C-alpha cells in the first residue's frame, strides 16, 4: 500500500517538473506545488536555534513578508498575567500587534498600548470572576477586520474590529459568531489553547484535554449567546446550538494537550497540513484533508507550546519549555518515517 502511494507521488512530481520545463506551469505555481510536497515535510530538520529568552517561550509569529519573527516568553508586558499570544496586524507595515493575555485583556500595540476590551464568560452560571483567561487569538487573512479569541471555556468567539469605538458606545465586546463541537457544549473541563485561520477562512481550534477541530465559517452558532439565568440553562445546550452544529468538524488526534497552552497552525502554501505541539515534546503534522498523521518530530526535551508556519516557504518555527526558538527547514537527506510504535504512543497520550 505504501509503495503504491510512493509511486503515485513520484509520478506526479515528474509530471510537475515536465510541465514546468515546457511552460505549462508557471514558476510561481510550480514552487507552490513543491512547497506542499509531502517529500519536503518528511525532510524537515532543525536549521537554527534562536536563544534570547530567559524562560519558556509561549508564542511565535511571522510578519506577512516572513522576514520578522515576534516571540513572547513569561513576561507580562503590561498585563496582570502572562502574555500568551501576539500577532502582527495585516496591512500595518508591521507597526501594529494585537495581543491577548491570561488576564482576559486584548490590546492593540502600536507606539502605545490601546486596550480594546476584556473578554467575559458566556455562561454566567460558572463565573468565578468577571473575566476569563485568554489563551489564543487569530486574524482572518481574507478579512483582517475579523479576529477570533479562545480561552478557558469551550467557545471560540469571532469579533469584528469595525464595530469598535473608543467611547464604548457599541457592543464590540460581544462576539457575532461562536464555534464549538456539539459534544463539548456545556463541558466544563475543557478550554481552548490554540486558534488559526487558513487563507480560505477555515478555523482550527485546539482544546486542552481533547483534540483539534477544523471548522468551516458556515458551521458557527451564528448568534450572540444569551446570558444564563437558571440552572437548567447551564446544564443543557439549546436546540438552536445543536441545530447549528449538525455539520461535524474535521478532527485531528494523536498529540497530548494537558500541561501548557498549546498553539495550532496550518502549514503549506494552501494550508495543506495541520501542525501542533504536544506534551511529549514532539511536533505532530497531519494532512488537513482526512486528518492522516504523516510526521512526528522531536522538538523539545519537555513540551512544545507553539508552531508558526512561514507565509511563503517550507519553514516552521517552534517553541516550548526550552528557552530557544527552533527554525525547521527541509534539509534532511533522508526522509523521515513515522516511529514503528507511533500508534501505541498516540494511544498512551490520548488516554493519559
CB 300 within 8 A of CB 317: no
Cα atoms in the Cβ-side hemisphere of radius 13 Å centred on 274: 30
pLDDT in tens, 192-220: 999 999 989 999 999 999 999 999 977 77
> How confident is the model over 289-304, as pLDDT tens digits?
999 999 999 999 999 9
Does the pLDDT at position 100 exceed 50?
A: yes
Each residue of 231-271: pLDDT tens digit?
443 444 444 444 444 578 999 999 999 988 899 999 998 89
Q: Which long-range contacts (CB under 8 A, 24 or more apart) does 226-229 make?
A: 227/122, 227/124, 228/123, 228/124, 228/125, 229/124
- What region does 201 belong to: left with phi over 0, alpha with psi -120 to 50, or beta? left
287: burial class by Cβ within 10 Å (0-12, 13-18, 19+)?
A: middle
Say if CB 81 and CB 75 are below 8 A apart: no
Q: Which three cell numbers stand for residue 225?
A: 449567546
pTM as predicted = 0.77
Task: Please count the CA atoms within 13 angstroms of the CA of 252 that sit on its side-chain side.
Answer: 31
Burial class (CB in 10 A: 0-12, 13-18, 19+), 67: exposed
Pairing assessment for the beta strands 304-309 and 273-277 based on DSSP bridges = unpaired
For the sheet containing 134-139, what is the strand order? 134-139, 146-151, 156-160, 177-179
Amino acid at each position: 500500500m505504501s509503495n503504491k502511494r510512493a509511486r503515485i507521488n513520484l509520478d506526479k512530481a515528474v509530471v510537475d517538473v515536465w510541465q514546468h520545463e515546457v511552460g505549462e506551469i508557471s514558476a510561481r505555481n510550480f514552487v507552490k506545488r513543491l512547497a506542499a510536497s509531502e517529500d519536503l515535510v518528511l525532510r524537515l530538520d532543525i536549521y537554527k536555534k534562536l536563544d534570547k529568552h530567559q524562560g519558556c517561550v509561549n508564542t511565535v509569529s511571522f510578519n506577512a513578508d516572513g522576514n520578522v519573527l515576534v516571540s513572547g516568553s513569561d513576561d507580562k508586558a503590561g498585563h496582570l498575567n502572562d502574555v500568551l499570544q501576539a500577532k502582527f496586524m495585516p496591512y500595518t507595515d508591521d507597526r501594529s500587534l494585537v495581543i491577548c493575555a491570561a488576564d482576559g485583556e486584548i490590546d492593540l500595540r502600536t507606539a502605545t498600548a490601546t486596550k480594546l476590551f476584556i473578554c467575559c464568560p458566556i455562561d454566567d452560571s460558572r463565573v468565578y470572576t468577571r473575566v476569563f483567561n485568554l489563551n489564543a487569538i487569530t486574524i482572518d487573512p481574507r478579512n483582517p477586520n475579523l479576529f477570533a479569541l479562545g480561552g478557558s471555556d469551550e467557545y471560540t468567539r469571532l469579533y469584528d474590529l469595525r464595530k469598535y469605538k473608543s467611547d464604548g458606545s457599541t457592543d464590540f465586546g460581544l462576539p457575532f459568531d461562536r464555534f464549538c463541537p456539539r459534544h463539548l457544549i456545556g463541558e466544563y473541563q475543557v478550554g481552548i489553547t490554540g486558534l488559526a485561520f487558513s487563507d480560505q477562512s477555515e478555523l482550527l481550534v485546539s482544546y486542552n484535554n481533547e483534540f483539534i477541530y477544523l471548522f468551516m465559517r458556515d458551521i458557527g452558532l451564528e448568534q450572540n449567546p444569551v446570558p444564563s439565568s437558571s440552572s437548567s440553562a447551564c446544564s443543557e445546550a439549546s436546540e438552536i446550538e445543536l441545530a447549528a452544529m449538525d455539520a461535524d468538524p474535521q478532527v485531528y488526534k494523536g498529540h497530548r494537550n494537558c500541561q501548557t497552552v498549546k498553539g495550532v497552525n496550518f502549514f503549506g502554501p494552501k494550508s495543506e497540513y495541520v501542525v501542533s505541539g504536544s506534551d511529549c515534546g514532539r511536533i505532530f503534522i497531519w494532512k488537513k484533508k482526512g486528518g492522516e498523521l504523516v510526521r512526528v518530530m522531536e522538538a523539545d526535551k519537555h513540551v512544545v507550546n507553539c508552531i508558526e508556519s512561514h507565509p511563503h516557504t517550507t519553514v516552521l518555527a517552534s517553541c516550548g519549555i526550552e528557552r530557544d526558538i527552533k527554525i525547521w527547514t527541509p534539509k534532511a537527506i533522508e526522509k523521515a518515517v513515522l516511529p514503528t510504535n507511533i500508534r501505541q504512543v498516540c494511544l498512551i497520550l490520548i488516554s493519559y
